[in-house]
Structure 1
Amino acid sequence: MTSIERTAYPRFKRLITARELHLFFSPSREEAEWATGRTQSAEHRLALLLMLKSYQRMGCFPKLAEIPNMVADFVRRAVELPDGTLPVYASQRSAEQHRALVRKRLGAKYDAAGARAVAGETIRAEAEAKNNPADLINIALEKLVEAGLELPAFSTLDAMASALRGEVNAAICVGIHDRLSEAHRARLLGLLDVLGLDGKTPFNRLKQPAQRATWSHFKNLATHLEWVDGLGDSALWLEGVASGKVTDFAGEAAAADAGVLRDYTPMKRAALIACLVHKARMRARDDLTTMFTKRIATKVKKAKEELEKIRKNQQAMVEALVGNYRTLLQQVDDGGPAQSAQARAAAMTGEVLGAVADLDQEADAAEAARCLDGKVSPALLALAKALRVQTGGLGAVTAAVDGFGGFAQQYEQIEKVSAHHGDNWEVLLYGQIGRDRAVMFDLTGLLELRATSEDGRVLDALAHAKRYKASRETIPEIGEDGRKVDVAFATQNWQKAIRDKSRPGAFVRRHFEAMVFCYLAEELRTGDVAVIGSEEYADWSEQLLPWSAVEAKLPAYLVEVGLREAGDDGPFDAAAFTAQLQDKLTAAAAAADAGYPDNEDLFIDPATGVPTLKKRRADDQRPSAKRLEQEIKARMPERSLIGILARTAYWIEWWRRFGPASGNDPKLKDPFGRYVITTFVNGTNMGPYEAARHIAGVSGHELSMAANRHFNIAKLNEAITDVVNAHARLDMSRAWGGWYDRGRGRHPHGHLPQ
């Protein structure tokens, strides 16, 4: 049984504003005269008008007992009937006659069999993709309204949704069960068996991720992915099953424990576990990808912070580099060790070169010995000494660099200063991710990546980096296909960082890898690269409707969004769409230009053309407003937080958004109280067992079960939406100042969660 409050089935809500009464339940003069001419008593006239306005508002006939007293009193006063007049029928025949009169006036069709047929066909078709009975009923209501049929009773739609959904779900479970091999069925059903001494089943491991998606947990996540993948290829088991159905089945399995699943039939049990395995495999890939993107984002942030730190410390670093350069100049300047060694070496080699100056290039050894007076060995010794002296001079320079920390440290400092001057944090990124390099390569090897567009340059660069990850300094620019690796996707800073002018035709390995990881993380976030088997990082293009389906739905969609008039069968292509948008933009611009002279708050600078809005100052609060504020505070009772939650839950019925994963109504004795208390406990960040010690009548286990099995983020957002929408409908919100608070210049709903 599905609660009517969970659906869009028309009904009277507890919270009806004065604006809604005047807008939807005010009888016109012609309607009042029509009702007077067809009734003989004030009671019947009021009942007929209530049936008319209710059908206009809801599309169905409510029972007179279901109409709120405030609505009946409003209509009674609007047509000036005596006080105390009640909407009653003398017989059931009178009620049927009134319904027939309303249908005739509004042109409504009463075809109970046709309405049931339309609803049944719609529910059966949508149950292939949707599992929540409330969603099925809502879609059936939409189709019934489009067909202009009177809505069946809610109990009829609820029974149809329950029966047809059960049939469709049973057929889906049979299909999944049949696609499982005997070995896979045994493996999945065996997850419910207790294996260890701790009393836990592998099913508990399946429901929970290995650990939080942090870098330190990479090995655990990788092991978890290997384990869930080893259970089988779930994509084959679920072939043809809608993703929404898989999600609902997996949610139902995750909300249950092993003992509950054992009570299911083996066929349904295997199907639910198969769906949960599929979601677990997707979640493991999501966690690994999220871990990678977060890690890269953190490293980029640290590289930029390091750049800012270098900017702050640049003076000391520049002074140190200047001092080092001065020392090197002194080593090679006149009178320095390098110059002295060079002069001595030149003198020593000059004597030998002078002695052999007359030798021909083709002279033999005897002729050379004659020129050197037979002393060849002393000449060679002199040359050796000269080279040694010269090497000593170069060694003095090298020793000076070693005293500054070595060539590597000097290059690193120069690179940091260069990064500061060029605002180039890219050259600092590898220093942050260097320790994570091996893990990042392992992660990209675990995930199957695919470009979602024709631009696969980042993945090509990643493959190139993998091929040469064992290289030390540089990697070639030429790929396996004999062409240069295209890195045009990178910024100019990256283009400079990955190349070394002294080594043309090669990439600097460390900067090339940092660039690839950085752009890979960015394209994963934007959807340009997809992870096969993932959910959050799946290929978005595969989720698009086929073009044939789009063409079939396009005419109705254009009419619905106002891009085409009903009955217009003319062609609608890109050119027509562009022309229509240009016409609308031109009309909007002309209207804005025409209203500019009367707009006192907008000013456009004639010199620059820049528009600005004038500041508006709030008027001082008037004495009458202060007295009104004091009077309201005096009359407004003090409420506790849990009391406010309970009152808003009663009037707005946001608590109906929560429930079990199956979509059925909760089998709780008091779901209203349980959900209000659970919301209070979660909202105040109080644990369930701590709350149970202070709240009588509820246990920690009950609160924990409601929070884990009946609450999730999607349902919480729906409840928040109900509160925001109800606040926006209040007459006080509309009287506050329209869209913006005239006194303070802010949106009146800005403090509410959006």
Structure 2
Amino acid sequence: MASIERTAYPQFKRNPVVRELVAAYTPTEVEIAFVAEHARQPAHRLTLAVLLKAFQRLGYFPPLEDVPAPVVRHIRNELRYRAQVKPAPVAPNKRYRYYQRVRAFLQVRAFADDGLDVAARAMRDAAAVMDNPADLINVAIEQLVRDRIELPAFSALDRLARRIRTLVNGRYFATIAERLTVDEKQRLDDLLHVTDPRQKSPLQAIKRLPKRSSLMHFQELIDHIVGLDDLVGSEAHLADVPEIKRKHFAAEARAMDAAEFKDFRPAKRHALLLCLIHRARVQTRDDLAEMFIKRMGTIHNRGKEELERLRAQYREKTEAIVATMSDVIRVLNHHTVDAEAGREIRHLVSNRGGARALQADCDAIAAHAGDNHLPLLWPFYKTHRATILRMVRHLDLESTTEDRSLIEAIKLILCQERARGDWLDESVDLSFTNHPWRKTLVHRTESGEERIHRRLFEVCVFSMLANELKSGDVAVRGSETYADYRHQLLPWDACEPLVQDYCQQLGLPANPIAFVNELQSRLTQVADLTDQGYLENGQVIIGDDGLPVLKRGKAKGMTSGARALETAILDRLHERSVIEILCDVGHWTGWTRHFGPLSGSDAKIDQPTQRYVLTTFTYGCNLGPAQAARHFRGAISAHQLSFVNRRHVDAGKLAAACRDIINSYAGLQLPRFWGDGKSAAADGTKYDLYDQNLLAAYHIRYGGYGGIAYHHVSDTYVALFSHFIPCGVWEAVYIIDGLLKNTSDIQPDTVHADTQGQSLPVFGLSHLLGIKLMPRIRNWRDYRFYRPDADARYEHLDPLFRETVDWDLIETHWKDLMQVVLSIKTGKIAASTLLRKLGNYSRKNRLYQAFCELGAAVRTLFLLQYISNQELREQITASTNKVESYNKFSKYFFFGGEGVIADNDPVEQEKTIKYNDLVANAVIFHNVVEQTRIIKSLIRQGWKITREDVAVLSPYVTSHVKRFGDYLIDVDAIPEPYEIELALAA
């Protein structure tokens, strides 16, 4: 049975506050008249009023005894009845008449009419892409409410959801079973068979994770994809099974071991195994492409290191050549007769080793004088050659543009794999290369004929392949991250009907000409106003060198009243352990309701709430199950903690639990003095990792191997969303994803970041998504300002403008830009997937160039506002300071395991960061509740507390939180209801 807490099925709150009672249960004059018309006695009128308001709130009629006493008291007071009046029990026939009259009054149909068909149809459609029963129930509830149909008992929806889910999944399982031969079924069953008790089953090999990037692990990864391709299953077996279903089935299979698989019916067992194999193939292709890119990057780094070594080696020879040249000049100045000078110079050269030796030294110095390391790559590539050639044979590469020159070059290399000559015998289209590579590859003979160096050509081809995989100009069929993103876009035929409404919502013109004209006009206006206000600005000064300088603003200090308030709050905070805080916040927000078996059913473990709290503490504080279990005094074992994490919690459930805390936090009044929730800041912080995984990379700035936790933090201090990303990735790729994936009640439309949080494509995409990107850019004055028109000139700011926006390119590709944006908004493709492609330079991709031009206009608009608006600069600085403070605050609770994420599984790494966010947000919520309590107490004592005093407070307080010691839990201890309202002096 699905847990009712994990669904949207309406229920009474146990302890509703006054504000909620007034908002939900106050009858209107029309409703009071309706009650008076259909009931005579006060007790019966109270009964009818309670049923009416309860139905409005819940969508169904609850038993009178289940209605909370505060609700009854509030309705009775509104009807102006004495306290002695109680709701009258009603006979079944009279209750039936009451139900009919309430439905007629509210214009709602009974579920018995056609509600079952409506709910079943909604669930059946949703079951094609959803699997969790709670999600199916939510879809049915939404449809019933939309159609104004009474909700049935939760058990009826639960039975219906389980039946429909079983039928839909059963059809998929049966279809897959029909496509499998007897031999294929036996081969799938053999994956679960263990011949030696000391060995793992073949199933574990499918779940193999990639290790760090090295040649040996590169070879092992190719062996792994070969082994996966030899297993049962192909795209034909899983045809008609939606990809989201495949992912869910694969996730369920990954969480189980061989023994647990054997408990399933054969059809389900085989389907889950096939989905697991399918997802393993997809992921391994992505991992293979990622490792290939990293290996090519390593090859180039070694080439650059070799160039530096050779420069150092030839430095003495360079100095000797310079000294020889200096002596030659001295001889020429001393001897006026050429013959005498020639004899002296010849003698000088002879003493320095001879002309041939000096010429050889000159040639060697000239070869390594520039920054061109490309001729030095072959020795480092040669060790990888066989592995890379094997890889391209197993990956199905395709060009995403009309330019197939690189694909044809790869085919040529494979055909001439065993060639031994120094030069290519065939003519080759080198349009896929860049100028440094063409200069390196092409050699001109004495007869004027051009020849291409065969070995360097091979290095060039695979270097360009790595670049084009990153930019999306080349895709890997059957992968996900490196697939052709065009196939994930919504077709233009489906986009076209959506354009008008979408543009109207964002206030954008709905045709290309008007769009370009409006943006160009806006840029012209802002540039003119900024230029006219230059002298009055006083904050920005453009020097004789044309470089702008911004004066530093003075930081605002705390007032004595604010400092006294902060001290008083810190002195009065009650000491709490992290587990106590998680329990209290769990009672207030019910965040543990989202955890449970991946199947969506109710948890079958003892004391599930206690286990969920302890598991969150264990992984959120990075203690690890073995260490944490030692401190829980037998309350839970390491195996139980690990089991709950593996089988009952995933990243989506953690995000949903965080959302509950955020939504409750949004209802508090104190955070409103810190921000309105309309802006957020994004920033990353490094977490240490072991290096035996593909995500870990060496971070130059922080040092050591690790990954980046990229947080989106609201201006009200609460964390909205987090990603865990590699160190080498430009963080701006994920800045939009965090806002789009945030489904909480706090929905910012402005995002601040640092230099890593912006780029031209990100500025362009955020503009089309209605997101205001306002980063704090380091060395902003080195960025190009773009003129709105080639003829535009400015009296004061003209030195800042270097180029002109290509408006024609934006207009030409306006449809392509809108297709991308609507595909992101409808969930067809993730913004990060697209920005990973658009974040790398591409000479082929005109969409990339169009986004860059649009971003150039939008970024110039922002920079003009930035240099002319001191208040905006202060706001950006304050927001980015908040997210940096959150990074430190969240790490305070990541105290276990020396701060190192010990798991090499990227799924578990992502979960660890989200666990940590859940703990941090719970402490933030608890701190605000405590601060509200203390402030109200101080006001009652006569303190004069103003809005300005409260505005400088922060919920990032840790002095009262206990992290260490013996950990005890009492989930039955109910905390006092928290207070929301906060009346302050003006």
**Shorter-chain-normalised TM-score: which range?**
0.7 to 0.9
Residue 49 of structure 1 and its aligned partner are, at CA, apart by 5.2
| Structure 2 counterpart SS, 1:450 | strand
Deviations 1:289-313 (A, max 9, x none): 2211233345556767888x79xx9
Matched, 1:439 2:377: no
Higher RCO structure, 1 or 2 (CA under 8 Å, sep 6+)? 2
Residue 729 of structure 1 and its aligned partner are, at CA, apart by 3.3
Whole-angstrom distance in 2 between the partners of 1:82 and 1:545: 62
Deviations 1:559-594 (A, max 9, x none): 9758499xxxxxxxx99554786798799999999x
Match of 1:478 among 427, 448, 457: 427
Relative to total residues, which structure has the larger strand share, 1 or 2? 2
| Structure 2 counterpart SS, 1:236 | coil
After superposing the two structures, state which structure 1 stretch, 424-433 or 282-291, moved more.
424-433
What corresponds to 1:136 in structure 2?
136
Residue 534 of structure 1 and its aligned partner are, at CA, apart by 2.3
Verify the 8 A CA contact 1:211 1:217 in the aligned structure 2.
yes
Residue 463 of structure 1 and its aligned partner are, at CA, apart by 3.1
Verify the 8 A CA contact 1:476 1:505 in the aligned structure 2.
no
Residue 271 of structure 1 and its aligned partner are, at CA, apart by 2.2
User: Where in structure 2 are the equivalents of 1:254-293 lying within 5 Å?
Assistant: 254-293=254-293
What corresponds to 2:738 in structure 1?
none
Residue 217 of structure 1 and its aligned partner are, at CA, apart by 1.0
Match of 1:451 among 376, 392, 399: 399
Tell me: CA distance 1:564–1:640, structure 2 relative to 1, closer, same or farther (3 Å).
closer
| Structure 1 counterpart SS, 2:398 | strand
What corresponds to 2:159 in structure 1?
159
Verify the 8 A CA contact 2:444 2:451 in the aligned structure 1.
no
What corresponds to 1:418 in structure 2?
370
Tell me: CA distance 1:729–1:509, structure 2 relative to 1, closer, same or farther (3 Å).
farther
What amino acid is the match of 2:479? Answer: S
What corresponds to 2:355 in structure 1?
397
What corresponds to 1:746 in structure 2?
879
Whole-angstrom distance in 1 between the partners of 2:656 and 2:377: 42
Residue 748 of structure 1 and its aligned partner are, at CA, apart by 10
Verify the 8 A CA contact 2:303 2:380 in the aligned structure 1.
yes
Residue 87 of structure 1 and its aligned partner are, at CA, apart by 5.8
Verify the 8 A CA contact 2:187 2:232 in the aligned structure 1.
no
Deviations 1:711-742 (A, max 9, x none): 33333333333333332332222243323479
Verify the 8 A CA contact 2:119 2:140 in the aligned structure 1.
yes
What corresponds to 2:644 in structure 1?
706
Q: Percent identity among equivalent residues?
A: 33
Deviations 1:420-467 (A, max 9, x none): xxxx67677667655434433332222111223434343234334444
Match of 2:578 among 638, 641, 656: 641
Higher CA-based Rg: 1
Relative to total residues, which structure has the larger helix share, 1 or 2? 1
What corresponds to 2:926 in structure 1?
none
Residue 39 of structure 1 and its aligned partner are, at CA, apart by 5.0
Verify the 8 A CA contact 2:540 2:548 in the aligned structure 1.
no
What corresponds to 1:345 in structure 2?
none
Whole-angstrom distance in 1 between the partners of 2:86 and 2:293: 67
Tell me: CA distance 1:467–1:685, structure 2 relative to 1, closer, same or farther (3 Å).
same
What corresponds to 1:385 in structure 2?
none
What amino acid is the match of 1:248? Answer: H
What corresponds to 1:724 in structure 2?
662
| Structure 1 counterpart SS, 2:879 | coil
Deviations 1:19-38 (A, max 9, x none): 66665555555555655565
What corresponds to 1:660 in structure 2?
597
| Structure 2 counterpart SS, 1:237 | coil
User: Where in structure 2 are the equivalents of 1:594-673 lying within 5 Å?
Assistant: 620-673=557-610
Matched, 1:525 2:459: no
Tell me: CA distance 1:162–1:505, structure 2 relative to 1, closer, same or farther (3 Å).
same
Whole-angstrom distance in 2 between the partners of 1:25 and 1:304: 73
Verify the 8 A CA contact 1:416 1:428 in the aligned structure 2.
no
RMSD over aligned CA atoms reads: 4.8
What amino acid is the match of 2:481? Answer: E
Tell me: CA distance 1:666–1:100, structure 2 relative to 1, closer, same or farther (3 Å).
same
Verify the 8 A CA contact 1:318 1:417 in the aligned structure 2.
no
What amino acid is the match of 1:321? Answer: T
Whole-angstrom distance in 2 between the partners of 1:453 and 1:57: 55
Verify the 8 A CA contact 1:531 1:537 in the aligned structure 2.
yes
Whole-angstrom distance in 2 between the partners of 1:611 and 1:723: 45
Whole-angstrom distance in 2 between the partners of 1:473 and 1:96: 94
Whole-angstrom distance in 1 between the partners of 2:366 and 2:125: 68
Verify the 8 A CA contact 2:398 2:475 in the aligned structure 1.
yes
Residue 160 of structure 1 and its aligned partner are, at CA, apart by 0.6
Whole-angstrom distance in 2 between the partners of 1:212 and 1:663: 35
What corresponds to 1:358 in structure 2?
none
Tell me: CA distance 1:625–1:188, structure 2 relative to 1, closer, same or farther (3 Å).
same
Tell me: CA distance 1:495–1:144, structure 2 relative to 1, closer, same or farther (3 Å).
farther
Residue 668 of structure 1 and its aligned partner are, at CA, apart by 0.8
Tell me: CA distance 1:624–1:209, structure 2 relative to 1, closer, same or farther (3 Å).
closer
Whole-angstrom distance in 2 between the partners of 1:143 and 1:416: 71
What corresponds to 2:107 in structure 1?
107
| Structure 1 counterpart SS, 2:369 | helix
Residue 240 of structure 1 and its aligned partner are, at CA, apart by 1.8
What corresponds to 2:342 in structure 1?
334
After superposing the two structures, state which structure 1 stretch, 521-530 or 428-437, moved more.
428-437
| Structure 2 counterpart SS, 1:148 | coil
After superposing the two structures, state which structure 1 stretch, 255-264 or 298-307, moved more.
298-307
What amino acid is the match of 2:250? Answer: A
| Structure 2 counterpart SS, 1:530 | strand
After superposing the two structures, state which structure 1 stretch, 611-620 or 167-176, moved more.
611-620
| Structure 2 counterpart SS, 1:659 | coil
What corresponds to 2:948 in structure 1?
none
What corresponds to 1:190 in structure 2?
190
Whole-angstrom distance in 2 between the partners of 1:182 and 1:458: 43
| Structure 1 counterpart SS, 2:206 | helix
What amino acid is the match of 1:264? Answer: F
Unaligned runs of 5+ in 2: 332-340, 678-714, 717-873, 891-916, 919-986
Residue 640 of structure 1 and its aligned partner are, at CA, apart by 0.7
What amino acid is the match of 1:273? Answer: L
What amino acid is the match of 1:478? Answer: S
Deviations 1:186-235 (A, max 9, x none): 11111222223524321232233475665431222222222221123422
What corresponds to 1:361 in structure 2?
none
Verify the 8 A CA contact 2:541 2:550 in the aligned structure 1.
no
Verify the 8 A CA contact 1:109 1:149 in the aligned structure 2.
yes
Whole-angstrom distance in 1 between the partners of 2:343 and 2:393: 60
User: Where in structure 2 are the equivalents of 1:178-577 lying within 5 Å?
Assistant: 178-196=178-196, 198-209=198-209, 211=211, 214-299=214-299, 320-324=317-321, 327=324, 334-335=342-343, 396-400=354-358, 411=364, 413-419=365-371, 433=381, 435-467=383-415, 470=419, 473-475=422-424, 478-479=427-428, 484-487=429-432, 490-500=433-443, 505-509=450-454, 512-544=457-489, 550=494, 563=504, 577=511
Whole-angstrom distance in 2 between the partners of 1:651 and 1:432: 60
What is the TM-score of this pair, normalised by structure 2? 0.58
What corresponds to 2:121 in structure 1?
121
What amino acid is the match of 2:655? Answer: N
| Structure 2 counterpart SS, 1:693 | helix
Whole-angstrom distance in 1 between the partners of 2:552 and 2:19: 33
Residue 400 of structure 1 and its aligned partner are, at CA, apart by 4.7
Residue 56 of structure 1 and its aligned partner are, at CA, apart by 4.5
Residue 267 of structure 1 and its aligned partner are, at CA, apart by 2.6
What amino acid is the match of 2:462? Answer: F
After superposing the two structures, state which structure 1 stretch, 698-707 or 88-97, moved more.
88-97
Matched, 1:679 2:616: yes
